[in-house]
Amino acid sequence: MPVIALTQGMGSLAQDVAEKLAADLGLQNMEHEVAARVADKMHVSKSLINRLRSGKAGLIEGLRADKDAMAIYTAEEVLDAAARGNVVIRGWGATQLLRAVPHIPCIRIMRPLEQRVEWLMEKLGTDDRDLARAEIQRSDQANAARMHDQFGVNWGDPVLFDMVLNTERLSVESCVEQIKNLLKRPEFAETQASKTLLQCMALSTRIRVALSNHADTHAVDIATECVDGNVTLRGIVADDAEKAAAVRVVQGVAGVKSVDSQLRAFTDARHFPTNRR
Protein backbone atom coordinates (compact mmCIF):
# COMPACT_ATOMS: atom_id res chain seq x y z
CA MET A 1 0.00 0.00 0.00
CA PRO A 2 2.20 2.87 -1.27
CA VAL A 3 2.37 6.13 0.64
CA ILE A 4 4.31 9.08 -0.78
CA ALA A 5 4.89 12.38 1.03
CA LEU A 6 5.63 15.47 -1.08
CA THR A 7 6.44 19.09 -0.34
CA GLN A 8 4.23 21.83 -1.70
CA GLY A 9 6.09 25.02 -2.70
CA MET A 10 3.93 27.35 -4.77
CA GLY A 11 4.71 27.03 -8.47
CA SER A 12 7.08 24.09 -8.03
CA LEU A 13 4.68 21.82 -9.99
CA ALA A 14 4.34 19.53 -6.96
CA GLN A 15 0.58 19.47 -7.56
CA ASP A 16 1.08 18.25 -11.14
CA VAL A 17 3.51 15.57 -9.95
CA ALA A 18 1.12 14.44 -7.22
CA GLU A 19 -1.85 14.25 -9.58
CA LYS A 20 -0.01 12.23 -12.24
CA LEU A 21 1.59 9.96 -9.64
CA ALA A 22 -1.80 9.26 -8.08
CA ALA A 23 -3.39 8.62 -11.47
CA ASP A 24 -0.61 6.28 -12.63
CA LEU A 25 -0.60 4.21 -9.43
CA GLY A 26 -4.30 4.38 -8.57
CA LEU A 27 -3.71 6.28 -5.34
CA GLN A 28 -5.73 8.90 -3.49
CA ASN A 29 -4.29 12.39 -3.94
CA MET A 30 -4.73 14.05 -0.56
CA GLU A 31 -4.22 17.74 0.01
CA HIS A 32 -7.30 19.96 0.06
CA GLU A 33 -9.36 17.52 2.17
CA VAL A 34 -7.13 18.14 5.18
CA ALA A 35 -8.10 21.80 5.45
CA ALA A 36 -11.82 20.98 5.50
CA ARG A 37 -11.43 18.28 8.16
CA VAL A 38 -9.16 20.35 10.39
CA ALA A 39 -11.50 23.33 10.08
CA ASP A 40 -14.46 21.14 11.05
CA LYS A 41 -12.66 19.84 14.15
CA MET A 42 -11.64 23.35 15.19
CA HIS A 43 -15.11 24.76 14.44
CA VAL A 44 -13.70 27.44 12.16
CA SER A 45 -13.93 28.11 8.43
CA LYS A 46 -11.76 26.29 5.91
CA SER A 47 -10.71 29.68 4.55
CA LEU A 48 -9.28 30.62 7.97
CA ILE A 49 -7.17 27.45 8.03
CA ASN A 50 -5.88 28.24 4.55
CA ARG A 51 -5.11 31.86 5.51
CA LEU A 52 -3.24 30.76 8.63
CA ARG A 53 -1.15 28.28 6.65
CA SER A 54 -0.40 30.66 3.80
CA GLY A 55 0.58 33.57 6.02
CA LYS A 56 -2.43 35.65 5.00
CA ALA A 57 -4.28 35.68 8.32
CA GLY A 58 -4.63 39.04 9.98
CA LEU A 59 -3.01 39.86 13.32
CA ILE A 60 -6.19 39.29 15.33
CA GLU A 61 -6.95 36.03 13.51
CA GLY A 62 -3.44 34.83 14.19
CA LEU A 63 -3.62 35.66 17.88
CA ARG A 64 -6.99 33.98 18.31
CA ALA A 65 -6.10 30.82 16.39
CA ASP A 66 -5.26 27.72 18.39
CA LYS A 67 -2.14 26.73 16.50
CA ASP A 68 -1.43 23.79 18.79
CA ALA A 69 -4.87 22.36 18.00
CA MET A 70 -4.34 22.93 14.30
CA ALA A 71 -1.01 21.08 14.46
CA ILE A 72 -2.39 18.05 16.30
CA TYR A 73 -5.50 17.78 14.11
CA THR A 74 -3.30 18.04 11.02
CA ALA A 75 -1.03 15.29 12.34
CA GLU A 76 -4.07 13.11 13.02
CA GLU A 77 -5.35 13.53 9.45
CA VAL A 78 -1.97 12.88 7.84
CA LEU A 79 -1.08 9.85 9.97
CA ASP A 80 -4.52 8.26 9.66
CA ALA A 81 -4.40 8.69 5.87
CA ALA A 82 -0.91 7.19 5.73
CA ALA A 83 -1.96 4.26 7.92
CA ARG A 84 -4.81 3.49 5.49
CA GLY A 85 -2.25 3.52 2.67
CA ASN A 86 -2.52 4.00 -1.09
CA VAL A 87 -2.15 7.76 -0.92
CA VAL A 88 -0.04 10.70 -2.07
CA ILE A 89 0.04 13.38 0.64
CA ARG A 90 1.18 16.81 -0.49
CA GLY A 91 2.11 19.44 2.06
CA TRP A 92 0.73 19.62 5.62
CA GLY A 93 4.12 18.73 7.10
CA ALA A 94 3.75 15.18 5.78
CA THR A 95 7.43 14.85 4.90
CA GLN A 96 8.32 15.46 8.56
CA LEU A 97 5.37 13.69 10.19
CA LEU A 98 6.12 10.52 8.18
CA ARG A 99 9.91 10.73 7.99
CA ALA A 100 10.38 8.06 10.69
CA VAL A 101 8.47 5.43 8.69
CA PRO A 102 11.02 3.53 6.56
CA HIS A 103 8.70 2.57 3.70
CA ILE A 104 7.44 6.11 3.03
CA PRO A 105 9.58 8.20 0.64
CA CYS A 106 9.68 11.89 1.55
CA ILE A 107 10.29 13.97 -1.55
CA ARG A 108 10.89 17.62 -2.24
CA ILE A 109 9.73 19.09 -5.56
CA MET A 110 11.56 22.35 -6.25
CA ARG A 111 11.95 24.94 -9.01
CA PRO A 112 13.90 28.22 -9.28
CA LEU A 113 12.10 31.31 -8.03
CA GLU A 114 11.88 33.11 -11.37
CA GLN A 115 10.24 30.12 -13.06
CA ARG A 116 7.72 29.97 -10.23
CA VAL A 117 7.08 33.70 -10.67
CA GLU A 118 6.40 33.13 -14.37
CA TRP A 119 4.04 30.29 -13.47
CA LEU A 120 2.04 32.46 -11.09
CA MET A 121 1.88 35.37 -13.53
CA GLU A 122 0.39 33.01 -16.09
CA LYS A 123 -2.11 31.59 -13.59
CA LEU A 124 -3.18 35.09 -12.53
CA GLY A 125 -3.23 36.49 -16.06
CA THR A 126 -1.02 39.40 -15.03
CA ASP A 127 2.26 40.97 -16.12
CA ASP A 128 2.92 42.29 -12.59
CA ARG A 129 6.13 40.42 -11.81
CA ASP A 130 6.63 42.15 -8.46
CA LEU A 131 3.18 41.07 -7.29
CA ALA A 132 3.80 37.44 -8.27
CA ARG A 133 7.26 37.37 -6.70
CA ALA A 134 5.99 38.86 -3.44
CA GLU A 135 3.18 36.29 -3.28
CA ILE A 136 5.54 33.34 -3.77
CA GLN A 137 8.06 34.69 -1.29
CA ARG A 138 5.32 35.21 1.28
CA SER A 139 4.15 31.63 0.75
CA ASP A 140 7.71 30.31 1.11
CA GLN A 141 8.23 32.29 4.31
CA ALA A 142 4.98 30.95 5.77
CA ASN A 143 5.98 27.37 4.91
CA ALA A 144 9.46 27.83 6.40
CA ALA A 145 8.12 29.41 9.59
CA ARG A 146 5.52 26.68 10.07
CA MET A 147 8.06 23.89 9.58
CA HIS A 148 10.49 25.54 11.99
CA ASP A 149 7.84 26.19 14.64
CA GLN A 150 6.28 22.74 14.41
CA PHE A 151 9.31 20.54 13.77
CA GLY A 152 12.36 22.69 14.46
CA VAL A 153 13.77 22.18 10.95
CA ASN A 154 14.91 24.30 8.03
CA TRP A 155 12.30 23.70 5.31
CA GLY A 156 14.88 23.94 2.52
CA ASP A 157 17.41 21.54 4.03
CA PRO A 158 17.87 18.72 1.45
CA VAL A 159 18.87 16.15 4.11
CA LEU A 160 15.25 16.16 5.27
CA PHE A 161 14.23 14.38 2.07
CA ASP A 162 14.94 11.05 0.39
CA MET A 163 14.84 12.67 -3.04
CA VAL A 164 14.91 16.25 -4.33
CA LEU A 165 13.54 16.80 -7.86
CA ASN A 166 14.04 20.04 -9.80
CA THR A 167 11.24 20.69 -12.29
CA GLU A 168 13.39 23.25 -14.09
CA ARG A 169 15.39 20.33 -15.50
CA LEU A 170 12.96 17.43 -15.14
CA SER A 171 9.50 17.19 -16.67
CA VAL A 172 6.55 16.22 -14.50
CA GLU A 173 6.56 12.85 -16.25
CA SER A 174 10.25 12.30 -15.45
CA CYS A 175 9.69 13.23 -11.80
CA VAL A 176 6.85 10.71 -11.58
CA GLU A 177 9.00 7.98 -13.12
CA GLN A 178 11.81 8.71 -10.67
CA ILE A 179 9.42 8.39 -7.73
CA LYS A 180 7.91 5.18 -9.10
CA ASN A 181 11.40 3.73 -9.44
CA LEU A 182 12.20 4.75 -5.87
CA LEU A 183 9.12 2.90 -4.62
CA LYS A 184 10.49 -0.30 -6.16
CA ARG A 185 13.72 -0.14 -4.19
CA PRO A 186 14.12 -2.51 -1.21
CA GLU A 187 14.76 0.44 1.12
CA PHE A 188 11.12 1.47 0.66
CA ALA A 189 9.50 -1.94 0.85
CA GLU A 190 6.72 -2.04 3.42
CA THR A 191 7.48 -4.50 6.22
CA GLN A 192 5.43 -5.64 9.15
CA ALA A 193 7.70 -3.59 11.42
CA SER A 194 7.30 -0.39 9.38
CA LYS A 195 3.55 -0.92 9.09
CA THR A 196 3.25 -1.46 12.84
CA LEU A 197 5.31 1.68 13.51
CA LEU A 198 3.00 3.77 11.34
CA GLN A 199 -0.12 2.35 12.98
CA CYS A 200 1.33 3.11 16.42
CA MET A 201 2.18 6.68 15.39
CA ALA A 202 -1.38 7.18 14.15
CA LEU A 203 -2.85 5.71 17.34
CA SER A 204 -0.64 7.88 19.55
CA THR A 205 -1.85 10.96 17.70
CA ARG A 206 -5.50 9.94 18.07
CA ILE A 207 -4.85 9.57 21.80
CA ARG A 208 -3.37 13.07 21.97
CA VAL A 209 -6.43 14.46 20.21
CA ALA A 210 -8.80 12.60 22.53
CA LEU A 211 -7.00 13.85 25.64
CA SER A 212 -6.90 17.45 24.41
CA ASN A 213 -10.60 17.38 23.50
CA HIS A 214 -11.84 16.08 26.85
CA ALA A 215 -12.71 18.60 29.55
CA ASP A 216 -11.01 16.55 32.28
CA THR A 217 -7.75 15.96 30.39
CA HIS A 218 -7.32 18.89 27.99
CA ALA A 219 -4.30 20.17 29.93
CA VAL A 220 -2.66 16.76 30.39
CA ASP A 221 0.79 16.44 28.82
CA ILE A 222 1.95 12.82 28.94
CA ALA A 223 3.89 10.35 26.80
CA THR A 224 2.29 7.35 25.14
CA GLU A 225 3.90 4.15 23.92
CA CYS A 226 1.89 1.87 21.65
CA VAL A 227 2.57 -1.73 20.70
CA ASP A 228 -0.14 -3.48 18.67
CA GLY A 229 -2.87 -1.45 20.34
CA ASN A 230 -1.49 -1.92 23.85
CA VAL A 231 -0.80 1.53 25.25
CA THR A 232 1.50 2.57 28.08
CA LEU A 233 1.03 6.01 29.60
CA ARG A 234 3.98 7.76 31.24
CA GLY A 235 4.28 11.17 32.85
CA ILE A 236 3.05 13.33 35.70
CA VAL A 237 -0.50 14.50 36.28
CA ALA A 238 -2.03 16.84 38.84
CA ASP A 239 -3.86 14.30 40.99
CA ASP A 240 -5.49 10.88 41.09
CA ALA A 241 -8.68 12.20 39.49
CA GLU A 242 -6.77 13.47 36.47
CA LYS A 243 -4.85 10.19 36.33
CA ALA A 244 -8.09 8.18 36.28
CA ALA A 245 -9.60 10.51 33.69
CA ALA A 246 -6.58 10.09 31.39
CA VAL A 247 -6.83 6.30 31.56
CA ARG A 248 -10.58 6.42 30.94
CA VAL A 249 -10.24 8.70 27.91
CA VAL A 250 -7.46 6.61 26.36
CA GLN A 251 -9.43 3.41 26.87
CA GLY A 252 -12.18 4.91 24.73
CA VAL A 253 -9.95 5.67 21.72
CA ALA A 254 -10.56 3.47 18.69
CA GLY A 255 -7.76 0.96 18.25
CA VAL A 256 -6.73 0.82 21.90
CA LYS A 257 -6.78 -2.74 23.26
CA SER A 258 -5.33 -2.18 26.73
CA VAL A 259 -3.90 0.63 28.85
CA ASP A 260 -0.97 0.30 31.25
CA SER A 261 -0.83 3.43 33.37
CA GLN A 262 2.60 4.39 34.62
CA LEU A 263 1.36 7.88 35.44
CA ARG A 264 2.41 9.56 38.66
CA ALA A 265 0.16 12.04 40.48
CA PHE A 266 0.93 14.81 42.94
CA THR A 267 -0.45 14.20 46.42
CA ASP A 268 -1.61 17.82 46.43
CA ALA A 269 -2.66 19.29 43.06
CA ARG A 270 -1.84 22.79 44.32
CA HIS A 271 1.84 21.88 43.99
CA PHE A 272 1.51 20.93 40.31
CA PRO A 273 3.58 23.32 38.14
CA THR A 274 0.47 24.52 36.29
CA ASN A 275 -2.29 24.63 38.88
CA ARG A 276 -5.36 22.66 37.79
CA ARG A 277 -7.47 23.63 40.79
Mean of pLDDT values over 210-239 = 91
In a domain, 145, yes or no: yes
Tell me how far apart the alpha carbons of residues 2 and 26 are, in angstroms, rounded to a whole number: 10
Average the pLDDT over each of 41-50, 69-78, 132-141 and give the range with the smallest value: 41-50
Say if residue 56 is in the same domain as residue 152.
yes
In a domain, 123, yes or no: yes
Tell me how far apart the alpha carbons of residues 231 and 261 are, in angstroms, rounded to a whole number: 8
3-state SS, 162-216, equals: CEEEECCCCCHHHHHHHHHHHHCCHHHCCCHHHHHHHHHHHHHHHHHHHHHHCCC
Q: Which amino acid is at 193?
A: A
Q: Within 13 Å of residue 134, how many CA atoms lie on the same side as its CB?
A: 5
Average the pLDDT over each of 22-26, 47-51, 153-157 and give the range with the smallest value: 47-51
Provide the pLDDT for residue 64: 61
- Examine the fold and report which residue of 153, 170, 188 is the final residue of a domain before the chain moves on: 188
- The distance between the two most distant Cα atoms of the chain, rounded to a whole number of Å, is 68
Say if residue 178 is in the same domain as residue 260.
no
Q: Which amino acid is at 190?
A: E
In a domain, 11, yes or no: yes
Provide the pLDDT for residue 189: 95
CATH classification at residue 90: 3.40.50.300
pLDDT band at 65 (very low <50, low <70, confident <90, very high): low
Decide if pLDDT at 270 tops 70: no
Tell me how far apart the alpha carbons of residues 219 and 242 are, in angstroms, rounded to a whole number: 10
Say if residue 175 is in the same domain as residue 225.
no
pLDDT band at 156 (very low <50, low <70, confident <90, very high): confident
pTM: 0.84
Provide the pLDDT for residue 21: 96
Say if residue 125 is in the same domain as residue 21.
yes
Decide if pLDDT at 196 tops 60: yes
Range of the domain at 70: 3-188
Number of domains in the chain: 2
In a domain, 154, yes or no: yes
Provide the pLDDT for residue 104: 97
In a domain, 34, yes or no: yes
In a domain, 221, yes or no: yes
In a domain, 180, yes or no: yes
Say if residue 129 is in the same domain as residue 237.
no
In a domain, 199, yes or no: no
